Amino acid sequence: MITEGHGTVMMGDFIGGYKSGDIYFMAGNLPHWFKKQQHKMTGAAVVVHFKPTVFGEDFLQLPELKNINHLLKRNDGIQLQNKLKKELAGLITEIDNLTGYQRIIHLLLCLQKMSCSASFNILTQNFTASNNNVNPSIEKIIEFSFKRYLTSITLQQVADVAAMSIPTFCRFFKKNIKKTYFDFIQDLRISHACKLLSSTNKPVLEICYESGYNSWAHFSKQFKHIKEMTPTHYRRMMLEIG
């Protein structure tokens, strides 16, 4: 649960924006990164970790826990919405302040509410990492990319960061992130544009250039491909929601 700050979230093969109040539920071993919009910006979150064996095998086989058992078997990353988000915000805050068995009870309540609700967006589904541990080279690549994605980046530059040849890097990145490197950079730039469209009154053309694009036509085409609407339509929709 994000309690302060905003920025970009990368979860499996999903890239999008996050803000204060957002709540995410992630399967175990699902690669994820939360990067603040600005390096000096304050950020805070309440994170609830638990092991798959926390309840034991037999406990989750009880008929009353069928929905929770199904939820924990999903290999997804989801973002909570509407009433469900409000309900879990209170429970997660209480978990942070509780001790002993009451923490487990509140954890079960959170899982039960999620497992019986459809009030969430699936961000990434059935994402299978190449292994259970994030490769240190991927960490370096992600860190470099988040710092540079609004500028011009060549494959040679990022391959050098990974200490690989360009062909080896391209295969390595696609295997781990499930998309090409330039598709990844495109997602970061469009996510940045979405944040500017929804949180500022800047002209759309100015946002195009501030999001790392040198061509309006190219920006408009990629935005429509990813969001299935024009930048202007997206801004109008976000104003109506907000």
- pLDDT one-digit tens code per residue, 48-80: 999 878 888 789 899 999 999 999 988 889 999
User: How open is the CA angle 171-7-130, to the nearest 5 degrees?
Assistant: 25
**Average model confidence (pLDDT) across the chain:** 90
User: How open is the CA angle 34-39-45, to the nearest 5 degrees?
Assistant: 40
User: What is the Cα 88 distance to its own chain's centre?
Assistant: 18
Q: Report the distance separating Cα 146 and Cα 62, nearest Å.
A: 45
Q: Report the distance separating Cα 205 and Cα 217, nearest Å.
A: 10
Strand-pair partners of 8: 17, 35
User: Could you tell me which residues come within 8 angstroms of residue 115 by beta carbon, excluding any fewer than 6 positions away?
Assistant: 67, 68, 70, 71
Q: Does domain 183-241 have CATH number 1.10.10.60?
A: yes
Predicted confidence at residue 117, as pLDDT, reads 94
| Cβ count near 99 (within 10 Å) | 6
Residue with tokens 């499996």: 12
Mean pLDDT across the stretch 75-88?
Answer: 93
pTM above 0.85, yes or no: no
Strand-pair partners of 120: 80
For the chain, the structural domain boundaries read 2-124, 136-178, 183-241
Count of alpha carbons within 13 angstroms of residue 125, beta-carbon side:
3
Predicted confidence at residue 235, as pLDDT, reads 94
- Which tens digits make up the pLDDT trace of 116-150? 999 999 999 877 665 556 678 888 999 899 889 99
Predicted confidence at residue 57, as pLDDT, reads 78
